[in-house]
Structure 1
Amino acid sequence: MKILHTADWHIGKKLHKHYLHADFELFINWLIPLMREEEIELLLISGDVFDLANPSAEARRQYYLALKKLSSLNCKIIITGGNHDSPTMLDAPREILEALNVHIIGGLPQNLADCLIPVPNKAGETELVIAAIPFLRDSDIRSVETGVTYDNRIEAIRKGIEATFAQAADLCNQNYPGLPVIAMGHVYAAGIESSDSERDIQIGNQAAFQASQFGDYFSYVALGHIHKPQRVSAAIPTFYSGSPLPLSFSERSDEKRVLILDTTTGFEPQSLSIPNFRKLHKISGTLENIKAKLSNLTPQGELTDLIEVELIEDDFDAHVLAQLDESVTNFDTPGLEIVKHRASFKNRLQETGKLFESHIHLEDLKPQEVFQKMLEQNSYDTEIKARVIQAFQEILEEIHTADQA
């Protein structure tokens, strides 16, 4: 049997307010002919189907259209919920989707046996079993008790995850003896490489799960949550497929992949690269550096390339900031779009509280006095200084007017 493992689709994701709807559609249009060519019989999606618990109408439309296209391949599809997903939202159309051979476990059911899904081969005989375990929330794996210490809570979560997978293994051994079992999970495993687009889980990732706790019963563990594809050190083949799309600029250099297993040869997966539909660029440096780099950029992706700009200067200068804003506003190169810009300064301004003598308290000063002291730290020309002062006075007047309303 040939199986494809993917995860972390994050349908409805926005990258700095830029929707990735088109990116996901291109991924699905790439995935379907691949599955047809590889004759995939089982598709596993290990959590975080959506980016938000209450996805937009467009995100839901993309999800159902994707399932409709995938169901035309006559393969079985098993989906588990992730920490971004709403269990009830995923589970709601379960009965209808089962008619399309799509099986969903959005949240942990009361009876763990309901997570066990036998998978028949073309001859109709059960060839293997999937222990489709979704993201385990605190309420699933521990009870809150008065007096439980912080460390004990972390240990309780780790033990709860381990116990859930161990119980699933026992149930499989009882009900499907002798058959290979693939476990699906959505966890943060210790010792892996993560990115800044992943939301912390289980007490800020402090309850990192040791992959050795999966034991040696399962033939393969199909993980989700971490967006960088990678193998996890364990007694059995344990892999994060990663997300199919770069979901933050920290993932711009990651090679996105899907994993394919052929059970006739074992449970070591083959890794296939996903095309890069959109290039992400991160540009940093002085204002002149940034202007030069932007002028030399050329589109590389099928979709509009996205750019993140970081200005790095020695000293704070409002005039330079204004020039940066102007450069970003006027940037108009087809196939390229700046979606975020920010500035940092090596010589940070003094904190406001350190600008005055030690015996002077900020609460005793008027706003104009604090503002004037801050203004003295900058070398504005006469015209800009006058405009800054006028803007401050207008803001102050608006505040006073609002306070009197």
Structure 2
Amino acid sequence: MRFIHTSDWHLGQNFYGKNRAAEHQAFFDWLISTIQAEQVELLIVSGDIFDTAAPPSYARTLLNQFVIQLNQLGCQLLLLGGNHDSVAVLNENKNLYQALNTSLISQAANKQDSVNYQQQVQLITDKDGQASAIVVAVPYLRPRDLLSLETTDSEDPTDKNTTQNRLLPAIQQHYQQLYQIALAQQQQVATETNKTIPIIGTAHLTIVNAKVTDSVRDIYIGSLEAVPVEALPEFDYLAMGHIHQPQVIAKKQHIRYSGSPIAMSFDEAKQQKSVVLVDTNKYSTAGDQQAELQIKTLDIPCTQQMRQLKGDIQQVEHQLAELVELQQNIWLDIEISSDQYHSDLQQKLLSLTAESQLEILRVRRSKKVVQQKLSEKSVSLDELSPLDVFNQRVNNLDLPSEQLQALTQLFNLSHQQSLIPDNENS
């Protein structure tokens, strides 16, 4: 059997006022063609299907149409919720998707929810009905999903210290319990068919030392920012989501982030986006044969070019003139690295591209210049991030270093939690 691993679609993203529907549709068209050409029988989407907890109607339509197309191909689909996704929104079509050969897991379930708990371990069969793989299907793990049943009457599951001390062990326990179920299924299949099938894991979180980009919202669960890869079971393949840059983790080819299918921020513009194709056919028959998965990446065509231009005003004007000659539609992020920035600069730059297909979406001063202007109190609010405003405010306070550090940690935690959907049933 062959399956494709993808993640972080972020359907419905608003990118500096730009709609991404055409790019996502082009990706879906390419993905359908690829699944046909490669004879793929399973597609795994490791979280962040939508960009927001309340995705626009066109984003939901894109997903629904894709589910229908994939069902017509006879390809199974496994959708996993991410930190951007609303549990309630995903569950709206869960039963309908099930009738269309699609399994949706919006949130982690515990043993008391036996039906959904068992759904997190799925036996995957090929087109001939033969067992081909077992998937430990784990979505984004919310602390309340993991800690609610383990908290004593005297403990508050939302307390920072309680969450900090108990979350990583809870994550490990959740994975290990499911992995043991998968091992038992694997042994049963081996006994019945004389064939060993691989165990595939999924995760939507940050692994320690993973490379991130500007568009990735760090997952702060309590004060746990990243999980060591050693905390997760030894899956035959681990399909990761949340990080948008495709990458192999810890030099292990079977532990991967597939990355997002389109650039979600300007600093991703130079990345070659891809999906991961995994072939289990040569994994193993019974006995002493060495287990082997064939893994390769498939490059996704880019349908919307983006560029970052950096330099002083004269350098940027020269770069713009060169791009105009290309006669291509390119979205631009312009960073001015000198203090020549003025209020009508964006209008001036727009006039240089008026007769071209170039679209300037953002003009800003470099962070270095902004910090300098901050000290001179000559910077506009729209040039500042929430952290810049916070730092500027607390720097005016006469606080001991320990209090300043604690206040900064609290701000970071509160700010990151405010970016994570807090939906009903989540």
TM-score, length basis structure 1: 0.79
Tell whether the 8 Å contact from 1:284 to 1:312 is kept in structure 2 after alignment.
Answer: yes
Q: 1:120 to 1:252 in 2, by over 3 A?
A: same
Map of 2:262 onto structure 1: 245
CA distance in 2, matches of 1:153, 1:239: 27
Work out which of the residue numbers 203, 210, 218 in structure 1 matches 2:228: 210
Map of 1:128 onto structure 2: 133
Matched, 1:95 2:92: no
Q: 1:176 to 1:323 in 2, by over 3 A?
A: closer
Residues 186-226 of structure 1 deviation map (CA, whole Å, 9 limit, x = unaligned): 1111011011101121348743111112232x211111100
State how many pairs are aligned.
348
Q: Which amino acid aligns with 2:207?
A: A
- Partner-residue secondary structure (3-state), 1:24: helix
Q: 1:66 to 1:334 in 2, by over 3 A?
A: farther
CA distance in 2, matches of 1:234, 1:149: 36
CA distance in 2, matches of 1:220, 1:299: 46
Tell whether the 8 Å contact from 1:261 to 1:269 is kept in structure 2 after alignment.
Answer: yes
Alpha-carbon distance, 1:114 to partner? 2.1
Matched, 1:274 2:300: yes
Work out which of the residue numbers 169, 175, 198 in structure 2 matches 1:165: 175
**Based on CA coordinates, which of the two structures has the bigger radius of gyration?**
1
Tell whether the 8 Å contact from 1:82 to 1:134 is kept in structure 2 after alignment.
Answer: yes
Work out which of the residue numbers 288, 305, 309 in structure 1 matches 2:334: 309
Residues 268-323 of structure 1 deviation map (CA, whole Å, 9 limit, x = unaligned): 42111111111111112222222221111048798x32001112224x66xx4424
User: Among the aligned pairs, what percent are the same residue?
Assistant: 28
CA distance in 1, matches of 2:326, 2:200: 38
CA distance in 1, matches of 2:223, 2:309: 30
Map of 2:350 onto structure 1: 328
1:140-179 aligned at under 5 Å gives the runs 140-143=145-148, 145-146=155-156, 150=160, 153-177=163-187, 178=190, 179=197
Alpha-carbon distance, 1:125 to partner? 2.4
Alpha-carbon distance, 1:348 to partner? 2.9
CA distance in 2, matches of 1:173, 1:114: 15
Alpha-carbon distance, 1:134 to partner? 0.7
Tell whether the 8 Å contact from 1:309 to 1:341 is kept in structure 2 after alignment.
Answer: yes
1:3-402 aligned at under 5 Å gives the runs 3-109=3-109, 110-111=113-114, 112-143=117-148, 145-146=155-156, 150=160, 153-177=163-187, 178=190, 179-203=197-221, 206-216=224-234, 218-233=235-250, 237-265=254-282, 266-298=292-324, 304-314=329-339, 320-328=342-350, 331-344=353-366, 345=369, 348=373, 351=376
Q: Which amino acid aligns with 1:141?
A: L
CA distance in 2, matches of 1:241, 1:181: 18
Q: Which amino acid aligns with 1:50?
A: F
Tell whether the 8 Å contact from 1:212 to 1:233 is kept in structure 2 after alignment.
Answer: no
Judge which range, 130-139 or 118-127, deviates more.
Answer: 118-127
Tell whether the 8 Å contact from 1:215 to 1:235 is kept in structure 2 after alignment.
Answer: no
Q: 1:312 to 1:5 in 2, by over 3 A?
A: same
Q: Mark the runs of 5 or more structure 2 residues left unpaired by the alignment.
A: 191-196, 283-291, 379-426
TM-score, length basis structure 2: 0.76
CA distance in 1, matches of 2:184, 2:81: 26
- Partner-residue secondary structure (3-state), 1:192: coil
Q: Mark the runs of 5 or more structure 1 residues left unpaired by the alignment.
A: 354-405
Q: 1:207 to 1:234 in 2, by over 3 A?
A: farther
Q: Choose between structure 1 and 2 for higher RCO, CA contacts under 8 A separated by at least 6 residues.
A: 2
Q: 1:323 to 1:86 in 2, by over 3 A?
A: closer
CA distance in 2, matches of 1:203, 1:116: 24
Map of 2:410 onto structure 1: none
Map of 1:357 onto structure 2: none
Tell whether the 8 Å contact from 1:287 to 1:324 is kept in structure 2 after alignment.
Answer: no
Residues 346-367 of structure 1 deviation map (CA, whole Å, 9 limit, x = unaligned): 85375459xxxxxxxxxxxxxx
Alpha-carbon distance, 1:105 to partner? 0.5
Q: Which amino acid aligns with 1:214?
A: L
- Partner-residue secondary structure (3-state), 2:338: strand
CA distance in 1, matches of 2:257, 2:274: 10
Tell whether the 8 Å contact from 2:5 to 2:258 is kept in structure 1 after alignment.
Answer: yes
CA distance in 2, matches of 1:299, 1:204: 51
Q: 1:284 to 1:299 in 2, by over 3 A?
A: same
Q: 1:328 to 1:252 in 2, by over 3 A?
A: same
Q: 1:155 to 1:79 in 2, by over 3 A?
A: same
Tell whether the 8 Å contact from 2:163 to 2:223 is kept in structure 1 after alignment.
Answer: no
CA distance in 2, matches of 1:267, 1:247: 30
Tell whether the 8 Å contact from 1:47 to 1:134 is kept in structure 2 after alignment.
Answer: yes
Tell whether the 8 Å contact from 2:324 to 2:353 is kept in structure 1 after alignment.
Answer: no
CA distance in 1, matches of 2:90, 2:200: 21
Tell whether the 8 Å contact from 1:231 to 1:239 is kept in structure 2 after alignment.
Answer: yes
Q: 1:247 to 1:349 in 2, by over 3 A?
A: closer
CA distance in 2, matches of 1:281, 1:342: 14
Q: 1:33 to 1:328 in 2, by over 3 A?
A: same
CA distance in 2, matches of 1:49, 1:238: 21
How well do the aligned residues superpose, as a CA RMSD in angstroms?
2.5
